[in-house]
C-alpha cells in the first residue's frame, strides 16, 4: 500500500461449473492478474456449483484488511447475476464492513478487445 494507492483486494467471480476444468480457468486467470497487476490481494469465487462461494471469497478479501475490495465479474453479459446478485453481495458486505469501500467492476461485455479475441478464436478454428 502506498499513500497514493489504497490497499486493494480483488475478488474475481465466475458462475461456477460442475466441470472442474472450467472452474480452473478462473484460478489461472487470477494467477495472471496477480502477475500483471499491482493489487495487494487477488481471490476467486463462484456464484454457484463450485467453491469458494462469493461470501467466502469476500471474507478472505476482508481478512487482508484492505481499504477497498473490487468485485470483478468474469461474465460476458449483464444478466441477473451481474446486475442484481453481485450488487446484493456488495451491499451486504459494505453494510457489515463500513470501513472498506466495496465496488463491482464492469462485466466483460462487448468491449473492443473482445472483438479481437473472437476474431482470433475464429481464425484458430479455420486453421
Q: Which candidate in 15, 81, 97, 111 is catalytic?
A: 15
User: What DSSP letter does each residue of 67-112 carry, written as one string?
Assistant: SEEEEEE--SS--HIIIIIHHHHHHHHHHH-TTSEEEEPPP--S-H
Catalytic residue status for 15: yes
Q: Is cis: bond before 52, omega within 30 of 0?
A: yes
Beta-bridge partner residues of 13:
45, 73
Which residues are known to be catalytic? 15
Amino acid at each position: 500500500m502506498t499513500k497514493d494507492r489504497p490497499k486493494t483486494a480483488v475478488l474475481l467471480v465466475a458462475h461456477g461449473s460442475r466441470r472442474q476444468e472450467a472452474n480452473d480457468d478462473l484460478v489461472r486467470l487470477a494467477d495472471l492478474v496477480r502477475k500483471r497487476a499491482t493489487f495487494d490481494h487477488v481471490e476467486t469465487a463462484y456464484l454457484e456449483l463450485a467453491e469458494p462461494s462469493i461470501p467466502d471469497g469476500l471474507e478472505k478479501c476482508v481478512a487482508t484488511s484492505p481499504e477497498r475490495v473490487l468485485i470483478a465479474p468474469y461474465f460476458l453479459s449483464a444478466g441477473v447475476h451481474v446486475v442484481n446478485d453481485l450488487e446484493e453481495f456488495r451491499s451486504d458486505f459494505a453494510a457489515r464492513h463500513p470501513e472498506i469501500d466495496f465496488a463491482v467492476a464492469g462485466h466483460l461485455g462487448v468491449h473492443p478487445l473482445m472483438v479481437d479475441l473472437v476474431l482470433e478464436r475464429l481464425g484458430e478454428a479455420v486453421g
